[in-house]
Amino acid sequence: MKGAAQGDPSAILRDHLGAVPDALVARFTAAERIVAVSHENPDGDTLGAVLGLVAIADALGKRATAVCSDPIPAIYGFIRGIDRFRTDPEPDVAYDLVVLCDCADAARVGEVRDRHPALFSADRVISIDHHASNDPGPTDWVDARSAATCEMVALLAVRLDVPLTSGGGALADALMAGVVMDTATFQHPNATHRTLAVASALVAAGAPLSDISRLLYRTKPESQLRLFGRVLARLRTTDDGLVVWSELLEDDLAATGADQSMSEGIIDLMSQAAEAEVVLLLKERGGETRLSIRTKDGGVDATRLAGAFGGGGHARASGATIAAPVAEAAEKILPAASSLARAVVR
């Protein structure tokens, strides 16, 4: 999958490079051995950002490793370079920079952090992220105005004078996958003028936008469609219609042959509910419940709801893990969601 590069794609982004912190540029420039780490239960943005950083490092003659604790979902198999991911850093490399990509906090990298505590506790760790709930350190780059971490990595590449066409187009492909995923093909209100400028530059660099959009949002195996059907069949609303929710049970996965990664996109479909201010998907995971939250533009701040349960994210899309079974978690979350939804004035 490869598009055609046109002109100088980087020129489109010159007016936006002031957003990239000088301290981050200095840290990345000084490093020679870099490990870029995704969050657990990876999505397109964290994977694309990691691969983007690896491609930037390659272009600058540095040694780079892509790490993800969890298996890569099959939906992202089309991204060039996806086979570079390892579950752990290379054992004999003395890394001088660890970059956490799209992680609202360090714990989100998953079990790899527990296996390599010395690596992740050192002052060599920095974060590039766009979650409002992230509490950044002095050399981290957290920009909640960015639609995707991949948007930020694209700006970093240009700031470092790395062509967006690097890797035979692999850099642009990976970053576009993240932008498409986190904007739902530019349908979410997080897509800004800068987001569109980044997308334009990536297309000019050869990223096949239509192919990536089709593969991420309009191509699903039958097992995933059946999973969607089971979850949608138990859709419920509060009496006032302001909160819509459903549950994804482990039995659903067994019955359809789907895996956890195939739950991606269900809540976006649920979010089309016309009257709902808050949409919730409660996913059963062992004895815990993974909560996904979506809210309407100008309404409930999803981070307030997620934060009450130890989670975080964005104003329109957040999540949390509740240490309780689904039924018990629903009893906790629904009153809070309803209260916030009823307070919205339109």
Q: Do 83 and 160 belong together in one domain?
A: yes
Same domain? For 180 and 82 the reply is: yes
Give a yes or no: residue 346 inside a domain.
no
Q: What is the pLDDT of residues 135-158, one digit of tens each?
A: 888 889 999 999 999 999 999 999
Asked if the structure places residue 201 within a domain, the reply is yes
Whole-number pLDDT of residue 59: 97
Q: Are residues 275 and 289 in the same domain?
A: yes
Domain assignment of residue 157, yes or no: yes
pLDDT of residue 189: 87
- Mean pLDDT value of segment 280-307: 95
Task: Tell me, yes or no, whether 196 and 273 share the same domain.
Answer: no
CATH number at residue 203: 3.90.1640.10
Model confidence pLDDT, tens digit, residues 9-34: 889 999 999 999 999 999 999 999 99
Number of domains in the chain: 2
- Residue 122 pLDDT level (bands cut at 50, 70, 90): confident
Boundary residue ending a domain (217, 238, 269): 217
pLDDT in tens, 175-226: 999 999 999 999 888 999 999 999 999 999 999 999 999 999 999 999 999 9
Is pLDDT at 3 greater than 60 in this prediction? no
Is 125 found in the same domain as 194?
yes
Whether residue 274 is found in the same domain as residue 137 = no
First CA to last CA distance, the chain: 44
The answer to the question of residue 4 being in a domain is no
Residues 173 and 232 in one domain: no
Judge if 227 and 213 occupy the same domain: no
For the domain that residue 318 is a member of, what is the CATH number?
3.10.310.30
- What confidence score (pLDDT) does residue 138 get? 84
Domain boundary residue, one of 193, 217, 241:
217
Q: Do the domain assignments include residue 167?
A: yes
pLDDT digits (tens, 9 = 90+) for 90-115: 999 999 999 999 998 888 999 999 99
Q: What percent of the chain has pLDDT over 90?
A: 88
Task: Reply yes or no on whether the pLDDT at 123 is more than 90.
Answer: no
pLDDT of residue 5: 52
Residue 2 lies in a domain: no
Average pLDDT (236-251) is 97
Same domain flag for 21 and 148: yes
Mean pLDDT value of segment 69-73 = 95
| Residues 27 and 176 occupy one common structural domain | yes
Q: Do 274 and 192 share a structural domain? A: no
Question: Is the residue at 245 inside a domain?
Answer: yes
Last residue of a domain, one of 200, 217, 234: 217
Q: Is the pLDDT of residue 6 over 70?
A: no
Q: Please, are residues 68 and 48 in contact by the beta-carbon 8 Å criterion?
A: no
pTM for this predicted structure:
0.89
Q: Are residues 208 and 244 in the same domain?
A: no
Domain assignment of residue 96, yes or no: yes
CB 146 within 8 Å of CB 152: yes
Q: How confident is the model at residue 1 (pLDDT cuts 50, 70, 90)?
A: low
Domain span holding position 271: 222-338
